[in-house]
Structure 1
Amino acid sequence: MGLTSNKVLWLAIAFAVLLFVGTVWLWPRLARRHWRAVSGRVCLLLGTQLALFASLGLAANQAFGFYASWADLFGQEKDQGVVVNHTALGGSGGPLQVIDTAHVRGAGGAPPQSGGQIQKVDIVGRRTHIATPAYVYLPPEYFQPRYRTRTFPATVVLTGYPGTARALVDKLRYPSTAETLAKNGRMQPMILVMMRPTVAPPRDTECVDIPGGPQTETFFAKDLPDAVIAHYRVGRKPGGWGIIGDSTGGYCALKLAMHHPGSYAAGAGLSPYYKAPLDPTTGDLFRGDRNLRDRADLWWCLKHLPAPDTSLLVTSSRIGESNYKDTLKFIERVQANRLTRISSIILDSGGHNFNTWRREIPATLQWISGRLSDR
């Protein structure tokens, strides 16, 4: 049973309840002062507390999608993030392969023409040879005969670190939110490409082209759009692509929109930060390359690089988020130039969590939809 399995969570809760009941039942028998009774009391208390903490930890992971598997939790994930897959690169299948399909949550098993579809895919970058899974949401209009010649705008949606792509579907509910907004005429039908920025797990690459390592920025700026365009009816002209992310994904979204306005006409960062960190999860991202380090600092980019012709959205909360002051400063810096457009969502209170981002996602999807063309 996997880390995110409901069976694991319910078993942990049942075990914690049994230990609690057992502790209450056995406590009178262990009231004596000899070493066996004392040891028994210590073991029961310790066991009950560990079971409760495990249950709470599993429930939190289910809610927020911190870790996808036991190997991910214990830092033993073995998936190879950078590969040369000659079959995928050279065969007729192309750089994107559909692995599975599913209904959109809330569509009640409706056919794709009515409820849209979620496809699980594998993507291999032609330039970078990075291989990574993703989920693609296709709106109902994509399958309707009257739209058979139409191309659709596309938006990449990124998790934080470590994050799980599935959480974007199940926990943050991007597909069902997009389907509802489009049905109500509040946004245009749009393809969503949902994935985590961790394309070389377990390393946090911060969407940087690492010298001698994963070329993550190039993958998201070039390989990913090319792979999606080759497989789906997505507009090829500039202005048809956007990118959204939370936390680490939010930083990546802003950076990619700023560095590559020809690829992304709009970028939205939910609770983002504005400079790539260096810590045990990232390792040495820049290998002494000062230019690369500066480009990963959005403050430096705003001061020293030409203003990009793109639209940016940032979010924060007055109470509960540590990036609030930096976000206000970022808005002010962007406003100082006349080419880059900046918008914001500032909540009265919130946090660095799924509940806050779910409150921001509908407005974010509407915002980005209004800045993308479908041709």
Structure 2
Amino acid sequence: MGLTSNKVLVLAVLFAVLLFVGTVWWWPRLARHNWRAVSGRVGLLLATQVAIFASIGLCANQAFGFYATWADLFGQESGEGVVIDHNGSGGGPLQVVDTQQVKVSGGSRSQIGGQIQKVDIVGRTTHIATPAYVYLPPEYFQPQYRTRTFPAAVVLTGYPGTAEALIKGLHYPQTAHEMAKTGKMQPMILVMLRPTVAPPRDTECVDIPGGPQTESFFAKDLPDAVSAHYRVGRKPGSWGIIGDSTGGYCALKLAIHHPEAYAAGAGLSPYYRAPIDPTTGDLFQGDKALQNSADLRWYLKNKPAPDTSLLVSSSKVGEANYKATLGFIDLVKSKRLTRISSIILDSGGHNFNTWRREIPATLQWISGRLSDR
């Protein structure tokens, strides 16, 4: 059974409850002062607490999507996630491997609820391979729209994150469906994945010297693969990108570095400079220019202002990036071509509940900045 399986969660909770009941039942029998009784009490308390913490951890992982598999949890993911296509065969850079309905009223019919497709993507130039989920709105399947192209938004998780969390935890497809249905945004295709395309390494959407070319994958290969398979507008104004936390940093960086690819980028609770820590390793390999480029404030101060739209979010209480976000807003406001918007909550932590409060406004904002042609 997988780490995110509901059966695993139910069994963990049941085991914790049984241990708790067993501790209450056996405690009077272990009230003696000999070593056996003391060891029994210690063992029961330890086992009960471990079971309770395991249950809480599984619940948190289900809610926030930190780890996708047991191997991911225990750091046993060692592959770089890179595929080299030697002969160009295989049916294209994007393959649909599964479909599922959107959990909305009438969702069993694609013409009413839209559809979520699980896909495998292989970058033509970077050879990076990664899974993703693609949300197709109901209009995509309706006969009257059969020749229409749609705007698309890439949606990124944080690190480590799971793409499934964008569906189950943050409800992007359901929210997009409801907002388009009520006329608050135009129908859009959502391409949902995590920025960690070379797990377990956190590549921070950087083209790592001698390593995964993550920025190039998101700037070039991903839009090309999706556009080759789906009816997506091919002009720069047809694409936007959204992310939270690490994904928020990536979204802003890609919109700033590649305005020819992304007309708008929204960072929910983002930071503004790629960190260096045990999860990232040495991202820059001594390349100072590359390191500076990964600092969004340095880039905006020292490079020509990109013609793109940016959205940032934070909260006055609960987010560590509040002051940095205000400074970033002031910096962008001084640039002629770059446009900046913000969502500032009175309070809200760095978590799914906060981002769920920001996602409707974010989708409406990005929809208003994208074209379907």
Q: TM-score range by the shorter chain?
A: over 0.9
SS of residue paired to 1:239: helix
1:223 to 217, 221, 224: 221
Q: Partner of 1:85 in structure 2?
A: 85
Match of 1:168 in 2: 166
State the distance in 2 between where 1:185 and 1:175 align.
15
Report the alpha carbon displacement of residue 81 of structure 1 after superposing the two structures with TM: 1.0
Report the counterpart of residue 45 of structure 2 in structure 1. Answer: 45
1:56 Cα deviation (Å)?
0.5
CA distance in 2 between partners of 1:179 and 1:20 (Å): 43
Separation of aligned partners in 1, 2:106 and 2:140: 18
Residue 149 (structure 2) aligns with:
151
Q: What TM-score, normalized to structure 2?
A: 0.99
| Count of residues in correspondence between the two structures | 373
5+ unaligned residues in a row in structure 1: which ranges? none
Q: 1:28, 1:229 → 2: CA distance? A: 68
Q: Secondary structure at the match of 2:75?
A: coil
C-alpha separation in 1, matches of 2:363 and 2:250 = 17
Instruction: Tell me the CA shift for residue 111 of structure 1.
Output: 1.2
**Structure 2 matches for 1:101-112, cutoff 5 A?**
101-112=99-110
The residue identity in structure 1 corresponding to 2:143 is: P
Q: Distance in 2 between matches of 1:46 and 1:305?
A: 57
Q: How big is the shift at 1:192?
A: 0.3
Partner Cα separation in structure 2 for residue 28 and residue 170 of structure 1: 44
Q: Read off the aligned partner of 1:341 and give its amino acid letter.
A: R
Counterpart of 1:360, as a letter, is: E
Match of 1:279 in 2: 277
SS at match of 2:266: strand
Tell me which moved more, 231-240 or 243-252.
231-240
Amino acid corresponding to residue 142 of structure 2 in structure 1? Q
Matched ranges for 1:112-123 at <5 A: 112-123=110-121
CA displacement, residues 279-305 of structure 1 (integer Å, 9 cap, x when unaligned): 000000000001100000001011101
Rounded Cα–Cα distance in structure 1 between residues aligned with 2:138 and 2:90: 27
Aligned mates of 2:71, 2:79 — CA distance in 1: 10
Aligned residues of 2:106 and 2:112 also touching (Cα < 8 A)? no
> Partner of 1:314: helix, strand, or coil?
strand
Gaps of 5+ in 2: none
In structure 1, the residue matched to 2:32 is 32
Structure 2 equivalent of residue 371 of structure 1:
369
Shift of 1:80: 4.1
What is the CA deviation profile of residues 192-230 of structure 1, one whole-angstrom value per residue up to 9, with x for unaligned ones? 000000000100000000000000000000000000110
Q: Separation in 1 of the partners of 2:2 and 2:106?
A: 26
What is the TM-score normalised by the length of structure 1? 0.98
> How far apart are 1:86 and its partner, in Å?
3.5
Shift of residue 108, structure 1, vs aligned partner: 4.3
Name the SS of the counterpart of 2:43 in structure 1. helix
Match of 2:241 among 240, 243, 246: 243
- Superposition pairs for residues 1-375 of structure 1, below 5 Å? 1-86=1-86, 90-91=88-89, 93-375=91-373
Contact 2:245 / 2:271 at 8 angstroms: preserved in 1? yes
Closer/same/farther in 2, CA of residues 16 and 186 from structure 1, 3 Å limit:
same
Instruction: Write out per-residue CA displacement over residues 91-146 of structure 1, whole angstroms, 9 at most, x where no aligned residue.
Output: 36110000011101124443111110000000000000000000000000011111
Distance in 2 (CA, whole Å) between partners of 1:107 and 1:172 is: 18
Q: Matched residues in 2 for 1:29 and 1:309: separation?
A: 74
Shift of 1:337: 1.1
Contact 2:99 2:117 in 1 (8 A): yes
Whichever residue aligns with residue 216 of structure 2, its letter is T
Question: What SS does structure 2 have at the residue aligned with 1:275?
Answer: coil
* SS at structure 1 position matched to 2:350: coil
Q: CA RMSD in A?
A: 0.9
SS of the aligned residue for 1:178 comes to helix
Q: Is the 8 A contact 2:107 2:114 kept in 1?
A: no
Q: Could you give the per-residue CA deviations for residues 140-194 of structure 1, whole angstroms, max 9, x where no partner exists?
A: 0011111111110000000000000011011101001000000000000000000
For residues 81 and 327 of structure 1, the distance between their equivalents in structure 2, rounded to whole angstroms, comes to 33
Question: How far apart are the structure 1 equivalents of 2:310 and 2:237?
Answer: 13
Distance 1:31 1:336 in 2: 72
SS in 2 for 1:199: coil
